[in-house]
Structure 1
Amino acid sequence: MAILYAAEAEEAAQWTDSLRALDQSLDIRFWPDWGDPATVDFVIVGGRSPGDLSIFPKLKAIQSTWAGVNHLLRSAGLPAGVPIARMVDRGLTGSMTEFVVYQVLDDWRRGPELRAAQKEARWLETLPRRAQDCRVGILGLGTLGIDIAIKLSALGFAVRGWSRSPKEAGSAITSFAGASALPDFLKDLDILVCLLPLTPETENILDARRFAHLPQGAVLVNVGRGAQLNEPDLIAALDSGRIRRAILDVFREEPLPESHPFWRHPHVTLTPHVAAITRAGTGADDILENYRRAMSGQPLLNQVDVTKGY
């Protein structure tokens, strides 16, 4: 029984070191030196589409080290019927919550304005805005979204959440579900945070039609997927003032090309897909558990519903 790591060597090293620290008996191989394809039972993939996985006739499971698996589901050579698990890492959840809570607090406490005033040696006295006066909407109430909603609510923010199907995130968080509820969810938001998985239904969900439901001067934080954002519509919304500021961590093309207008737009803050990165030290436990489950025919942790895309 062998595990094949089908990703870049640098990324593979940190994961395999963590896995071997948990179980030194593991037979771990690397793409493309897998030996006999019939001896590979379990494949680990990273953030890029792997090669043809259908060549492994006895493959029992595929484990992604990323929370999103849209790149994997769209790749050629994905064997039918082989269960896929995505990464829901404790470290990743904490990192994403820290990033989003920081961005919300920084904007609401006028961080960009204060930093700009400092550059101009201008003493800018502002009255701090209260958290309870800020309406934050979380688009996507999965594991990450619920944790962020709870943390922001604990700080006093007025939090609401939207998901495809009804979710319970606590009595302090107003929940919306289904496409018909999106306009009411977006209405009056000060800050919109997108955490959705990428599916055919969520591609381009952040577009002019949805922006029109937001109040003038709303802030967008996108930490979901780059393809969920209609980029020309966002630039138009920023230029018109419909969106006051956009904080973007994910993009359709990564790395973002130097010529892209987001780099130079005065109302865009961008980070290079670093809001939350799965850490081998905390994620290896779940990979090893899924390997053992796959070998014994049990359902995987965080198994993907391929009909939903997550």
Structure 2
Amino acid sequence: MTVTVLFAAGEALWPEYAPHLRAAFDEAGLDAALVTEAEPGAVDYIVYAPGSPLQDFTPYTRCRAVLNLWAGVERIVGNPTLTQPLCRMVDPGLTEGMVEYVTGHVLRHHLGMDRYIKGAPGWQQIVPPLARERVVAMLGLGELGLACARALKALSFAVEGWSRSGKTGLDIPAHHGEAGLEALLRRAEIVVTLLPRTAETENLLDARRLAWLPQGAVIVNPGRGALIDDDALLAALDSGALGHATLDVFRIEPLPEDHPFRHHPGVTVTPHIAADTRASSAARVVAENIRRGETGEPLLHRVDLTRGY
């Protein structure tokens, strides 16, 4: 029986994704019709992206899963009409891109490369410590956080992680709770934030917690803009308590030209490029979840709607 897959991720993405999705369906042996319009009652799966015109899921009574093309689900998870299973995107290409971004910027700050890139005067032979002597805090131990933590560990950094729920059985030291966060931040010279945005994580790094960091610590945030209190971050940079912040995500995107981050000497702004979903590999994840839905197997990367991720 042919399953109907509604592509509701926006017109702009259709030319990019359509051929890859159809190829992935064929590769998975799926008899699937990929469409951009259909009667709601005839739709079996929805391929989705936040910002889609589709906001009312109530008529989609036959839909067995909503398959998000983004890793972040905060813009859909609170939709009260969404009763269907929701799966976020964990794309191998996205993960690789995030690992490259995080590793590159952690190494940049660890080695103090900015002073040379910007043309430090004189002959300043400032030798950095070895990676094993540098504590890196990974805030967030999901798929992306763990992948980045392991890459940094492979370079001998002293990586320790923190998560809200607490993780056990990992190959890096893991902390949780307020006490665990404080203990880790008080020792961390580089902090990477890869947590989801929830009510509990918004403004996680506020003035009080930023003050726990050692003098001159660096923050790399490719996770969510709302994880850090903007005003508190700027104050910590202005006072010299923080050494630098490399930010890839923001509360408003694109970041307004007159935003203080744009012109602050202690801030590096990158335009949300740390990791992106690759259509070729993401299509295989979508196809695999449809195959699982049709065979009764558990869906991959299913979101807990009560927790928000």
- TM normalised by structure 1 equals 0.92
1:204 Cα offset (Å): 0.9
Work out whether residues 3 and 44 of structure 1, in 8 Å CA contact, stay in contact via their aligned partners in 2. yes
1:297 Cα offset (Å): 4.1
1:196 equivalent to 2:202? Answer: no
* Closer, same or farther: CA 117–22 of 1 in aligned 2, 3 Å: same
1:23 to 22, 25, 31: 25
Alignment of 1:14-163 (within 5 A): 14-23=16-25, 25-30=31-36, 34-48=37-51, 50-75=54-79, 78-80=81-83, 82-117=84-119, 122-163=122-163
**Pairs aligned (count):** 302
1:40 Cα offset (Å): 1.2
Instruction: Tell me which amino acid in the other structure corresponds to 2:287.
Output: L
Work out whether residues 163 and 175 of structure 2, in 8 Å CA contact, stay in contact via their aligned partners in 1. yes
The answer for the alignment partner of 1:305 in structure 2 is 304
1:170 Cα offset (Å): 4.4
Instruction: Tell me which amino acid in the other structure corresponds to 1:196.
Output: L
Work out whether residues 73 and 309 of structure 1, in 8 Å CA contact, stay in contact via their aligned partners in 2. yes
* Closer, same or farther: CA 41–170 of 1 in aligned 2, 3 Å: closer
The answer for the alignment partner of 1:184 in structure 2 is 183
Which stretch of structure 1 is more off in the superposition, 96-105 or 12-21?
Answer: 12-21
Q: Secondary structure at the match of 1:15?
A: helix
Structure 1 residue ranges without an equivalent (≥5): none
1:174 equivalent to 2:176? Answer: no
* Closer, same or farther: CA 174–35 of 1 in aligned 2, 3 Å: closer
Work out whether residues 6 and 38 of structure 2, in 8 Å CA contact, stay in contact via their aligned partners in 1. no
Structure 2 residue ranges without an equivalent (≥5): none
Work out whether residues 133 and 157 of structure 1, in 8 Å CA contact, stay in contact via their aligned partners in 2. yes
Work out whether residues 220 and 245 of structure 1, in 8 Å CA contact, stay in contact via their aligned partners in 2. yes
Deviation digits for residues 220-257 of structure 1 (CA, Å, limit 9, x no counterpart): 11111111121111111110112110010111111111
Q: Secondary structure at the match of 1:70?
A: coil
| Distance in 1 between residues matched to 2:170 and 2:46, nearest whole Å | 37
| Distance in 2 between residues matched to 1:165 and 1:228, nearest whole Å | 16
| Distance in 2 between residues matched to 1:126 and 1:176, nearest whole Å | 32
Quick one: percent identity of the two aligned structures? Answer: 43
1:159 Cα offset (Å): 0.9
| Distance in 1 between residues matched to 2:63 and 2:50, nearest whole Å | 20
Work out whether residues 187 and 213 of structure 1, in 8 Å CA contact, stay in contact via their aligned partners in 2. yes
| Distance in 1 between residues matched to 2:16 and 2:205, nearest whole Å | 35
* Closer, same or farther: CA 169–143 of 1 in aligned 2, 3 Å: farther
Work out whether residues 149 and 169 of structure 1, in 8 Å CA contact, stay in contact via their aligned partners in 2. no
| Distance in 1 between residues matched to 2:75 and 2:197, nearest whole Å | 9
* Closer, same or farther: CA 95–174 of 1 in aligned 2, 3 Å: same
1:47 Cα offset (Å): 3.8
Deviation digits for residues 74-99 of structure 1 (CA, Å, limit 9, x no counterpart): 34x6332x100011111111111111
Q: Secondary structure at the match of 1:291?
A: helix
- TM normalised by structure 2 equals 0.92
Work out whether residues 190 and 218 of structure 2, in 8 Å CA contact, stay in contact via their aligned partners in 1. yes
| Distance in 2 between residues matched to 1:307 and 1:193, nearest whole Å | 26
Q: Secondary structure at the match of 1:79?
A: coil
Q: Secondary structure at the match of 1:136?
A: strand
Work out whether residues 146 and 169 of structure 1, in 8 Å CA contact, stay in contact via their aligned partners in 2. no
